[in-house]
Amino acid sequence: MDLDMDSMAAAIGVSVPVLRFLLCFVATIPVGFFHRVVPSRLGKHIYAAGSGAILSFLSFGFSSNLHFLVPMLLSYSSMVLFRPYCGVLTFILGFVYLIGCHVYYMSGDAWKEGGIDATGALMVLTLKVISCAINYNDGLLKEEDLRESQKKNCLIKLPSLIEYFGYCLCCGSHFAGPVYEVKDYLDWTERTGIWAYTEKDLSPSPFGATIRAILQAALCMALYLYLAPNYPLSRFSDPIYQEWGFWRKLSYQYMSGFTARWKYYFIWSISEASIIISGLGFSGWTDTSPPKPRWDRAKNVDIIGVELAKSSVELPLVWNIQVSTWLRHYVYDRLVKKGKKPGFLQLLATQTTSAVWHGLYPGYIIFFVQSALMIAGSRVIYRWQQAIPPTKDVIKKIMVLMNFAYTLLVLNYSSVGFMLLSLHETLAAYGSVYYVGTILPVILVLLGKIINPAKPVRKARKEQ
């Protein structure tokens, strides 16, 4: 078996631990399918928790489940003992433990060099336990003090321990996301809400959507394996890179970011297939006649939307969608005081939270600060675009093209920090193209303070 693993790993250019993880990760698809036939609600919770724990053990070893138990038990204990403060307590304790694991395992370096450890799954678990605790905390608040998302997700009753473990370890999302709400998990398990059988006993078939996700995953992996050898990260520290001209360096940064994204597209497509086939990915019926099932609860990326984004503002809506939604509901919205509008500080705090969640590497911090600047600069271009009179359609189209080009340049420039991680390598790569992706957003933000056209009409705002 070891020889087989060695040869298989060598054939696709990965380490044996990574291959073991990939096999377990793909196994979440049949495991998700068999969840459909497990009898009784209790059985489904036990199956969800047990299958997640077993696959974690096979992927990362026994210690991984011990690591998962820490934030799970801290969160559950805070909900039992300190309900009025359980959200804040879990947020702080969960992130402190996650950061400690990031530092101890130096997970970013391991991932960068083709290794694997349990911190990726721990990242997803941390968001789950925090959202569960905050929603239980929200159950104490008056309805008029809650936002719509809070009303939808707040918990009045504490989930039982087995329900909670099933939610945390359900293997379809345990390894790489997407993050979903505990109320959705409970409704799915208990066949209530949108999962309740209707009078016509409509039971949507997941197989078509599952096959689409699997084919998408195969295409993404094939493209990544084809591109990756041609755009290694080691090239950034190669003397030959320094001999290139500005445009060639910039194009290499673009292709490096483009190549790396296909790895994430593959991972999220497998997760999507696993959650869809289990039934949890169902998100309701369309209004068409006849109605068709929608399977976008597990959707974590819109590939075309990322690669052809017209504005940086669109990126959080199409990349790592469920984590972006989590950050909006549990960080961004909660930093905005009632009756006030959000600003750059809320955006920066949200991006910083995302950076810390990924790990304390300078490259992550720089990337997410860059992201905040990138979005702020894109909003300036959009405001200018909307201020152009409808009679000057050509100029407006030029502004749209300008925002697209700006997003393309700054996104791939910024992503170099996310890939290289170290401060020295990141600054060297940015400096090799004269920090164009940092200077340009700053100039746009400053110009936005000077050239500040009248606010667009309501119809124009809706388009964004």
**Phi and psi for 294 in degrees, rounded to 5?**
-105, 140
Q: b vs e for 414-445, b when ≥16 Cβ sit within 10 Å of the residue's Cβ?
A: bbbbbbbbbeebbbbbbebbeeebbebbeebe
User: E strands within 174-295?
Assistant: 284-285, 293-294
Question: Taking residues 58-67, what's their average pLDDT?
Answer: 91
Query: Distance between CA 326 and CA 124 in Å, rounded?
Result: 11
Distance of CA 319 to the CA centre of its chain: 7
Q: Kindly report which listed range (113-127, 313-327, 418-432) carries the lowest average pLDDT score.
A: 113-127
Mean pLDDT of 184-213: 84
Give the pLDDT score at 216. Answer: 97
Active centre residues (catalytic): 358
Segment 106-128 shows an average pLDDT of 83
> Model pTM?
0.90
Q: What is the mean pLDDT of the chain?
A: 89
Burial class of residue 366 in the structure, from the number of CB atoms within 10 Å of its CB (0-12 exposed, 13-18 middle, 19+ buried): buried
Inform me whether the pLDDT recorded for 138 exceeds 70. yes
Confidence of residue 224 (pLDDT cuts 50, 70, 90): very high
Q: How does residue 199 score in pLDDT terms, banded at 50, 70 and 90?
A: very low
Given a contact cutoff of 8 angstroms between Cβ atoms, the answer to whether 447 and 380 are in contact is yes
> Is the per-residue pLDDT at 196 higher than 90?
no
